Structure 1
Amino acid sequence: MTDSERPLPAGPRVWAWTTISTPVGPLGLAATADGLLSVVFHAEDTGERAAGSVDRLTRRLGSAPAGPPSACHDVLAEATAQLQAYFSGRLRVFSLPLDWSLTSGFNRRTLHELLDHVPYGTLVAYQDLADRVGEPGAARAVGVAMGSNPLPVVVPCHRVVESNGGLGGFGPGLEAKRALLALEGVLPQPLF
């Protein structure tokens, strides 16, 4: 059973959704009262992509997003402010509460290691991250964990690269990964 198939705690959960504009395109944010739950690239306020993201979360959480006001909306407001500060170059470390309920096991351990020990403006190789979590043969599994990260940007899977210096993969697209790494000063800005 994959992390995305793993059942969440019993009963419907109260959560909220918003979409924000960023230099890497619109991001969808979902939050519970426990913290930021999900960051979705290529989100839209309306349309098929937004509906698909919200529908997937509705199925996983057993309820539709809550209308304001709620503690979820307070988390969304803080997440929006911190992401805007990050994208404007004024924030290097997020201080948001995070709801880790959409991931577990190896993936969660790997994402925690990444969040706690790979700071802004640094990179780590898939293999090195596997070694750090005590699974030296699991470089590919680290790639799977990065691909299933429910909190990209905040949990910085864009900082994980290949041992040979290649960028590796990135679900939202390599252009977004390059832009995030350039923002953090790891890569030069693209010429065009």
Structure 2
Amino acid sequence: MQLLKAKAFFSKVAPKAKKPKTACQLPESEYRFWSPLGCITVRACESGLHTTGLQGDLSDENFAPNPNQGVKLLGSNKVPQVIKKCEIWFRTYFDDPKNMNTVERPDICVFKKSNLAFRELVWKTLADTVGPGEVITYGALADRLKNPGAVRAVGSAMRNNPNGIIVPCHRVVRTSGLGLYHGGTLQSVKVWLLNHEGITKYSK
């Protein structure tokens, strides 16, 4: 019954956001995974991921995670290697984030560019250097990029992160507290992800 309700809830597809520029012009396909957070939609080409995000009209008010829901790729028999890696990554993450050092991160197309724009550099630095169970402030991330005056720009990069969870913008917090997630509409998701990784000092 719970799974049927979840299917009904996540059958509403969120409006497509403006497609971010990627490192390739290859055609992309859409894939969906069941997860403890609901349905995760991934758009990718054979070379790498383009976007990753929670599907449906999700908000703090209706967020209802199910920790007993395993990760499962939906309705796809033949998938590219990057999606197989994505499935392994999600399974490992939702089973036990402490084991993330045992799995390879799926390729992300935009990271393959020879010259990364500032936002892309923010995303890659975050994904490469801030692991599960860790948090970093916007200012500290700007410092890590050797650009201490770019705190607002770092915040903008977090708001426009096209690959949530895999590029862990939920680990970026304010000096004074939790900080926003999806513009402040999904604070419960941010808290859940941090708690899942063992960080329990924040609340929405």
Bin of the TM-score, shorter chain as denominator length: 0.7 to 0.9
Q: CA deviation at 1:143?
A: 0.9
Separation of aligned partners in 2, 1:110 and 1:41: 21
Q: CA deviation at 1:189?
A: 9.6
TM-score w.r.t. the length of structure 1 is 0.72
Asked if structure 1 preserves the Cα contact closer than 8 Å seen for 2:39 and 2:54, the reply is yes
**1:13 aligns to 2:23 (yes or no):** no
Q: Of the candidates 85, 100, 111, which is equivalent to residue 92 of structure 1?
A: 100
Task: For 2:86, give the aligned amino acid.
Answer: A
Structure 1 residues 5 and 189: alpha-carbon distance in aligned structure 2, compared to 1, 3 A threshold? closer
Asked if structure 2 preserves the Cα contact closer than 8 Å seen for 1:28 and 1:39, the reply is yes
Corresponding residue of 2:195: 182
Q: Secondary structure, in 3 states, of the residue corresponding to 2:50?
A: strand
Q: CA deviation at 1:7?
A: 5.4
Asked if structure 2 preserves the Cα contact closer than 8 Å seen for 1:114 and 1:157, the reply is yes
Q: Secondary structure, in 3 states, of the residue corresponding to 2:143?
A: helix
Separation of aligned partners in 1, 2:180 and 2:112: 21
- Give every structure 1 segment of 4 or more consecutive aligned residues whose post-TM-superposition deviation is greater than 3 Å: 4-10, 67-70, 101-104
Q: Of the candidates 83, 94, 105, which is equivalent to residue 90 of structure 2?
A: 83
TM-score w.r.t. the length of structure 2 is 0.68
Unaligned runs of 5+ in 2: 1-17, 58-75
Corresponding residue of 1:57: none
Q: Of the candidates 127, 136, 155, which is equivalent to residue 167 of structure 2?
A: 155
Alignment of 1:1-192 (within 5 A): 13-43=26-56, 69=78, 73-89=80-96, 91-93=99-101, 95=104, 96-100=106-110, 104-164=116-176, 166-171=177-182, 173-187=186-200
Task: For 1:92, give the aligned amino acid.
Answer: M
The count of aligned residue pairs is 161
Q: CA deviation at 1:89?
A: 0.9
Corresponding residue of 2:63: none
